[in-house]
Chain A
Amino acid sequence: EAQVTQNPRYLITVTGKKLTVTCSQNMNHEYMSWYRQDPGLGLRQIYYSMNVEVTDKGDVPEGYKVSRKEKRNFPLILESPSPNQTSLYFCATGRGYNEQFFGPGTRLTVL
C-alpha cells in the first residue's frame, strides 16, 4: 500500500529540547516537503527536497532543519523548539511538486 508515514503523531515537549519528526514514503517519489498548518494561516511550506541531497527553503524555514540522505526519508529537525513552533505538521511527497500526497500529520506542542 502506497503511503506516507510520520512519527510521532503527537508530541508535547518543552522549549529548547531538540526533537526530530520522521517522514517516510514508499512511493519512490523524488519530491518531498514539510508544511505547518496554523489556524487562520493555512498551510505553509517549511522546506522541500527535489531529490536526495537537494533541499531548499520554503516560506517559513526559520528554526527548522531537514536532511535528505535517502530517497524515502525526509526528517524535520527542531534544534531548539520554541512555543511559536506549536503547530500541526504535514510531510508530503510527489513525483513532482504538482500532485502531493500528505502524511497523516504530527501535532506538536512546545511548552
Chain B
Amino acid sequence: RKEVEQDPGPFNVPEGATVAFNCTYSNSASQSFFWYRQDCRKEPKLLMSVYSSGNEDGRFTAQLNRASQYISLLIRDSKLSDSATYLCVVLGSGGSYIPTFGRGTSLIVHP
C-alpha cells in the first residue's frame, strides 16, 4: 500500500462549483501536511499547509483528520484557472525529512 494515496481523477466540474479532494496517509506518526498545485509540465507550487485546526485561504480550505488519517482540500466557487493537478504531501513519517508526495488529483474546471 502506498504511503500517500489520492484519487487521480480527473474531477471535471463547471465554473462556480464546489469540489473536494481527499488524501489518505498510512503512517500515523506523520507530522506535517501540505497541498501543492502543479500546472501541466510546470513545477509544483505550495498551495497551503494543513494544520490540525484547519486552514482557510480565500476559496480554499484544508483540513486534517488524524483519527482517520486523511487530509482534505475544498475549493469553493471554482474558477477556470483552478484547473491543475493537486498534490498531497506528507512529512515526518518515522522522523524522516523525506516528504512523500501523492500522485496527484487532476481538476478540470469548464465553462
Chain A residues near B (Cβ < 8 Å): 35, 40-45, 48, 50, 56, 58-59, 90, 97-105
Contacts and interface: CB of A to CB of B under 8 A. Distances in A.
B98 A58 contact: yes
Given A45-B98, A90-B43, A90-B44, 7 more contacts: A41-B103, A42-B103, A59-B98, A98-B49, A99-B34, A99-B46, A105-B41
On chain B, which size bracket covers the interface? 10 to 19
A34 B16 CA distance: 37
Contacts of B103: 40-42
A56 B97 CA distance: 10
A105 B43 contact: yes
B47 to A, nearest CB: 11
Contacts of A40: 103
Given A98-B34, A98-B49, A99-B49, A43 B43 contact: no
Contacts of B32: 98
A17 to B, nearest CB: 25
Contacts of B43: 90, 102-105
A31 to B, nearest CB: 9
